[in-house]
Structure 1
Amino acid sequence: MQKSQFEKIKNGKGFIAALDQSGGSTPNALAAYGVSKDAYSNEGEMFDLVHEMRTRIITSPAFNSDKILGAILFEQTMDRKIEGMYTGDYLAEKKGIVPFLKVDKGLAEESNGVQRMKPIDDLDETLERAKERHIFGTKMRSVIKEANPEGIKAVVDQQFKTGKQIIAAGLVPIIEPEVDINSPEKEKCEALLKDELLDHLNHLQENENVMLKLTIPTITNIYKSLINHPRVVRVVALSGGYSTDVANEKLKVNDGLIASFSRALSQDLNVNQTDTEFNEKLAKAIDSIYDASV
């Protein structure tokens, strides 16, 4: 793990771009980009198209380390190349942006008001490949829908157990227990989640560091104790379905919380835009998310 990358993520000004839509969410991401389902006839063609979209974003002059600290990649994106270089190397060497990898395999069925992660059977193998591809850290997502203490504990237990496996492999895990923005118990969920996260953080060793990716909270600055925790490298926020403007406004009032947006980053991009139009739209989104993060 490069110390300079750790330092950049911990103390740098900017945000983390999420470019990690996977199998289930890829058709929606492409549709939002103006590529309909009749543009591809199988999964291979679909992933070729989404890689073209991500390549266009990553190679854009607007996508640079002045405002972007890191980027989260889907596994296939990590294994593909941009201008002859593996994507992680291109990000790090050409753009000065720290690469992360989404490692979860999607969500299990809902139980106790939450969706834990599906088992990640090949995690050790994936982490080995990630190190070969010079990936700095990982991300994995669970979802909380109800203020069920047992369910929330199960989510956080699973996240930290997997997180320790990732730390042991030499990478920094982003632990992402997303609270559904549409949950009628969102505020209660966040209070329970904060306590559960703090309990787990307090049991980490001095050499065990994590990042947290959380839904922008209902109560402003409720996550301050997590942001200031010595075992936390950085706390980033997901947009969770909020539009860019709404997500940015909510983010601005939370001190020390920075963005890790996916949909909010790319919502105004379209396959039919000229490069000039595309770069202008992307620059506008990046500028607004950066301003909200700093």
Structure 2
Amino acid sequence: MNQQEMTDRIATGQGFIAALDQSGGSTPKALRGYGIEDGAWNGDDEMFALIHEMRSRIIESPCFGNGKVLGAILFEKTMDGTSGGKPVPDRLKERGIVPFLKVDKGLEDEANGVQLMKPMPDLESLLARARDKGVFGTKMRSVIKANDTAGIKAVVRQQFAEGARILAMGLMPILEPEYGIKSPDRAEGEKVLLEAIMEGLDALPEGQQVMLKLSIPAEAGLYRPAIEHPAVLRVVALSGGYSTEEACAELAKNPGMIASFSRGLLQDLRATQSDEEFDATLGAAIDRIHAASVA
């Protein structure tokens, strides 16, 4: 797929984006969920080798390339690895799946009810490498924990500022200001978030587009204005701690949003499953998430 084909696939495809981007801090938890306990590896290299084996098993599963998965978000080490004997971005595109890269370096300490992203001084060099490997876009995550207007606006300003750096390098940014689903004031705070997002979208230069990755809103249909904005290529939803069933049920209430799930996709996969069991389990999750994304 060339750049235009990837753009069209994401813009109009009937499916969802898989999140396979667990980083150093979240990898042990992901491995435990997969049935591999902490003592099974010695050092980061062995840990990342194990998580890469899991991701490659997912990428090579027959159901992963059945057309229902539009894209996949990768961790940097996954982008640099291989699957099916080929570089991962090339292998994904061969299977009709658009590759994205997680680029944030984690979160700052909480202030004003939010966690901003840590600085990314080497972002351009990472983006150049990703672009050379055929990656289409990026994803970066901030977290909102409370309805604090100053904090929410700071998160959105930072997301759009970093998005401008990504656009300048010829890649498509997914802006992810995640609103914690357990926040008691989420319904009101998400309205503040939407207002800040719309201001950022309106300020984009004509012809530029971004993607948004948002928590499934407490008020169904809240993000419709962003979905319909000409500066938005696609709005995707994170599972945010919901189970697969919960996330799919909530997502189906929001036409125009498609899934970009991690836990909601991977929760029932285990290292001890046979290939047949693994493929059947993954296929069932893909079917459920696809159905919610096209509802």
TM-score normalised to the size of structure 1?
0.99
CA contact (8 A) 2:60 2:84 kept: no
Match of 2:141 in 1: 141
Decide whether aligned partners of structure 1 residues 162 and 65 sit closer, same or farther in structure 2, where only a CA change above 3 A counts: farther
Match of 1:256 in 2: 256
The Cα shift of 1:84 comes to 2.4
The Cα shift of 1:255 comes to 1.1
Match of 1:52 in 2: 53
Amino acid at match of 1:19: L
Question: Following the alignment from structure 1 to structure 2, what is the Cα–Cα distance between the partners of residues 266 and 146?
Answer: 28
Amino acid at match of 2:274: T
Deviations 1:112-168 (A, max 9, x none): 000000111210000000011100000000000010000001100000000000001
The Cα shift of 1:83 comes to 2.4
Question: Following the alignment from structure 2 to structure 1, what is the Cα–Cα distance between the partners of residues 272 and 73?
Answer: 25
TM-score normalised to the size of structure 2?
0.98
Match of 1:90 in 2: 91
5+ residue gaps, structure 2: none
Match of 1:265 in 2: 265
Alignment of 1:1-294 (within 5 A): 2-93=3-94, 95-294=95-294
The Cα shift of 1:59 comes to 0.3
Specify the SS of the correspondent of 2:64: coil
CA contact (8 A) 2:211 2:233 kept: yes
Equivalenced residue count is 293
Name segments (4+ residues, structure 1) moved above 3 Å: none
Specify the SS of the correspondent of 2:107: coil
5+ residue gaps, structure 1: none
Deviations 1:147-198 (A, max 9, x none): 0000001100000000000001000000000000110111111000000000
Question: Following the alignment from structure 1 to structure 2, what is the Cα–Cα distance between the partners of residues 275 and 121?
Answer: 42
Amino acid at match of 2:75: F
Question: Following the alignment from structure 2 to structure 1, what is the Cα–Cα distance between the partners of residues 287 and 84?
Answer: 26
- Alpha-carbon RMSD across the aligned residues, in angstroms, is 0.7
Specify the SS of the correspondent of 1:177: strand
CA contact (8 A) 2:178 2:213 kept: yes
Question: Following the alignment from structure 1 to structure 2, what is the Cα–Cα distance between the partners of residues 32 and 196?
Answer: 35
The Cα shift of 1:58 comes to 0.5
Provide the identity percentage. Answer: 55
